[in-house]
Structures are given as C-alpha cells and as structure tokens.
C-alpha cells in the first residue's frame, strides 16, 4: 500500500503541465454532521468540508411530514420545525460552501427499517403514525403521492445534483421481505415521475453493501431462509431494482460486520452489477474506525492503519472505475458526544479528523486524491 501511496504522491505533485493528463472523475464529500450539536460543532464540520471536499451530502432520515406532503410539494407548507432545519442547512451551505455540488437523500422507512417512516408534524419528528399511514402499504396511492411531493420539496429547496430515493433500502428487504415488492413499485413510481420533471438529475435508491453480501444477521437469515429456491436473493433483487436507477449507490462500513476484512475484489459485485446496467457506481456513505470501540457484546475493530488502508482501497477503486462520488460520512470524531449506546458509539471514531480538529493520517491520504483535478465523467 505504501508503494501505491508514493506513486500517488508523485502523481499529484507533478508539474502542472504534466499533471493535466491525470483527472479525478468522482467527487469527494462529507455530511455536515457535527461532533457536537452546537454552533461550534457545525462550524468545525463545515470548515473541514470547505477545505477538504467538493461535495456536501444531506440525508434526511428523521421522519416524513406525511399529512402535509400529501397535499403540498412546498416545504413552506410543512411543519415549522422542519422548515427551520432545512433553512439552517441552506443558510449554512450558502455561507460556507456556496456553489458546492450537493447530494440529498431521504428515507421512506423508519430507522428500524420495518415500516413507513415516522410522522413529522407540529410536535416535531418521530411522532407515531395515525390513519391512513399506520396501515398504508409502500405502494399505496397516499404514500406514492406524499413521497413524490416530499421529494420535489427537497429537490426544489436544495437543488442537488444527486438524489437518493431511499437510504440503504435493502435493509427493508431483509427485515420485511413481505413488503419488498410494494417498495419496488414505489421506487419505480418515484424514479419515473422525478425523471420526467428533472431529466438531468441523478436519481437512485442506495444499498447497504455488507447487507447485500449477507454479512449482517437480518440479510444472512433471509438468504438462509430462501436458500433452497432463491439462493441469489440478496443481490438479484438489487439487480432488479437498478432498472429504475441512474447509479448503483452503496454504503459500506466493513468493520460493522463481525470479523470482516476487505479483500482484493471486495467491491466487485457492486461494479459488476453496475456494468450490466451500464450505470456508474457511487459511495454515499463510507467509514472506518481509527480505534477499537467496545459496543457491549463485541468490540468493533479499528486503528489508524486500518482506517488508512480501508479508505485508500475505496478511493483507489473510485479513481480507477466509473464512480460518481464518494462520501466519508463524518468529518470529525464525535467520541461520546452522541451518547454511549452501542448504536451511537458505532461510528464515534470514523471521522478523518480528531475532536480537537487535528488530522488523522487518513486525512492526508484523502487530500492527495482531492488534489487531483476534478473532471466530470464524460
């Protein structure tokens, strides 16, 4: 790996004239999730994005304003707390990263991936669903209309270049296989309707890659259950989903699968499925821990060396292949600032910078790739 780094270092420090033959055709970015939920935390995160990225990612997973979205595609008709959150992000973008490319995604399920997303109403996000939403299927007319309006509201407000219809949506397949066909119908509807309105916008669902490989319990159990008559379910259903997608977009956190390690060809399945559909790949979430984290029954393994190797492997694959963008989810380690539950701690040390703002070794590697001139894919 270090020989490769030396070659890359030589490449990006060549004289400008010679360097013109080398381009980076994928954007590199982060979400602005702060290490602390205050202005100082957001300032720190945005400063890193300003200096170390050419893409910003906003993901909306806290609930859907179902009642309001059923009748309006303007976020000005949505609950005041939602308007405040969107306005805050729009102002922060305008003040810190004006003109930077945006990726925006939304989650139509709850965070457990076993039903529709919770309700966002005048009482805030995370409210229980009432009628008709508490019994509505993913392909019901009400859900289709509300999510189309909500998607339009996001697109009109944030003007993204890339739009995610559903985040890590194959987790829904693993947990609610009975609802999967309904979701595929919803995905087809939203994709078709949005492409008619925004033909130049990249529109796609996103896939959790380790789930597609069967490395997490829910997906492994589904694969085992269907093994006799549908042994390819985990990846074939993603192949089917891609008929209504502009890219094969994955999230990948290898360390979250127990005793998992990246190996040569680890991401071949994603690239092969994208090639069959003649669409690019993108990485909407990635990360690696720079230290071990005890989450109770297991210890999630990490070190600065592992983080460096993992991010290098991913960025090198992006550089050599047809990839739209790569997003390292966190800029800065948040340590225990999000709490000490196993879920909160799982990504606590996946930033490229320490809580005090000092760079980890992986930050220099990241910048080596970022310094290669960006050129949109042809």
Which of 232, 210, 186, 199 minimizes the C-alpha distance to 283? 210
Residue 67 included in any domain: yes
Residue 39 included in any domain: yes
Residue 375 included in any domain: no
Classify residue 178 by its DSSP letter.
G
Reading the block at residue 268, the tokens are: 């071949």
This prediction's pTM: 0.93
Which of 247, 260, 261 minimizes the C-alpha distance to 321? 247
Which of 319, 324, 330, 327 minimizes the C-alpha distance to 162? 324
Neighbours of 157 (CB within 10 A): 18
Residue 55 included in any domain: yes
Domain count, the chain: 1
CA distance 234 to 363: 34
Residue 281 pairs in a beta bridge with: 248, 323
CA distance 271 to 353: 29
Contact 153, 74 (CB under 8 A): yes
Residue 16 included in any domain: no
Contact 247, 279 (CB under 8 A): yes
Q: Strand, helix or coil at 168?
A: coil
Helix (H) or strand (E) holding 164: strand 162-164
Pairing, β 202-204 against β 162-164: parallel
pLDDT at 18: 38
Q: At what angle do helices 361-370 and 2-12 cross, to 10 degrees?
A: 40
pLDDT at 8: 52
Q: Positive or negative CA dihedral for 30, 353, 288, 107?
A: negative
Render 250-297 in DSSP notation, one character per residue.
Answer: EEE-GGGSTT----TTTTHHHHHHHHHHT--EEEEEE---SS-EE-SS
**Tens of each residue's pLDDT in the chain, 378 residues:** 444 554 455 444 434 433 456 899 999 999 999 999 899 999 999 999 999 999 999 999 999 999 999 999 999 999 999 999 999 999 999 999 999 999 999 999 999 999 999 999 999 999 999 999 999 999 999 999 999 999 999 999 999 999 999 999 999 999 999 999 999 999 999 999 999 999 999 999 999 999 999 999 999 999 999 999 999 999 999 999 999 999 999 999 999 998 888 888 999 999 999 999 999 999 999 999 999 999 988 999 999 999 999 999 999 999 999 999 999 999 999 999 998 899 899 999 999 999 999 999 999 999 999 999 999 987
Contact 207, 168 (CB under 8 A): yes
Q: Which domain holds residue 261?
A: 25-370
Contact 327, 346 (CB under 8 A): no
pLDDT at 378: 76
Which of 166, 191, 377 minimizes the C-alpha distance to 281? 377
Residue 171 included in any domain: yes
Residue 1 included in any domain: no
Residue 230 included in any domain: yes
Our CA angle for 219, 222, 225, nearest 5°, is 150
pLDDT at 11: 47
What CATH number did the domain enclosing 358 receive? 3.20.20.80
């Amino acid at each position: 790996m270090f020989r490769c780094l030396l070659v890359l270092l030589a490449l990006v420090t060549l004289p400008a004239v010679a360097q013109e033959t080398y381009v980076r055709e994928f954007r590199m970015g982060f979400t602005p999730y702060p290490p602390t939920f205050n202005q100082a935390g957001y300032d720190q995160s945005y400063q890193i994005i300003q200096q170390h990225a050419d893409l910003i990612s906003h993901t909306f997973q806290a609930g859907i304003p179902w009642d309001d979205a059923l009748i309006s595609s303007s976020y000005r008709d949505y609950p005041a707390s939602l308007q405040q959150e969107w306005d805050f992000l729009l102002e922060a973008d305008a003040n810190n990263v004006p003109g930077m490319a945006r990726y925006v995604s939304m989650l139509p399920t709850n965070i457990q991936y076993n039903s529709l997303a919770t309700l966002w109403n005048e009482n805030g996000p995370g409210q229980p669903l009432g009628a008709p939403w508490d019994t509505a299927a993913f392909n019901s007319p009400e859900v289709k209309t509300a999510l189309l309006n909500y998607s339009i509201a996001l697109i009109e407000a944030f003007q993204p270049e890339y739009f995610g219809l559903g985040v890590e949506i194959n987790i829904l397949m693993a947990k609610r296989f009975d609802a999967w066909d309904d979701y595929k119908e919803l995905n087809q509807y939203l994709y078709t309707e949005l492409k008619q309105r925004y033909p130049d916008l990249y529109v796609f669902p996103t896939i959790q890659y380790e789930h597609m490989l069967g490395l997490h319990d829910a997906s492994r159990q589904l694969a085992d259950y269907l093994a006799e008559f549908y042994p390819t379910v985990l990846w074939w259903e993603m192949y089917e989903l891609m008929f209504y997608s502009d890219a094969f977009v994955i999230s990948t956190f290898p360390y979250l699968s127990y005793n998992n390690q990246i190996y040569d060809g680890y991401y071949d399945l994603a690239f092969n499925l994208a090639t069959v559909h003649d669409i690019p790949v993108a990485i909407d979430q990635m990360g690696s821990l720079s230290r071990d984290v005890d989450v109770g029954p297991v210890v999630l393994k990490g070190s600065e060396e592992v983080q460096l190797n993992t991010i290098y492997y991913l960025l090198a694959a992006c550089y050599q292949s047809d990839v739209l963008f790569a997003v390292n989810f966190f800029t800065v380690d948040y340590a225990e600032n999000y709490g000490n539950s196993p879920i909160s701690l799982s990504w606590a040390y996946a930033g490229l910078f320490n809580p005090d703002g000092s760079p980890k070794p992986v930050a220099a590697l990241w910048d080596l790739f970022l310094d290669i001139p960006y050129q949109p894919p042809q």
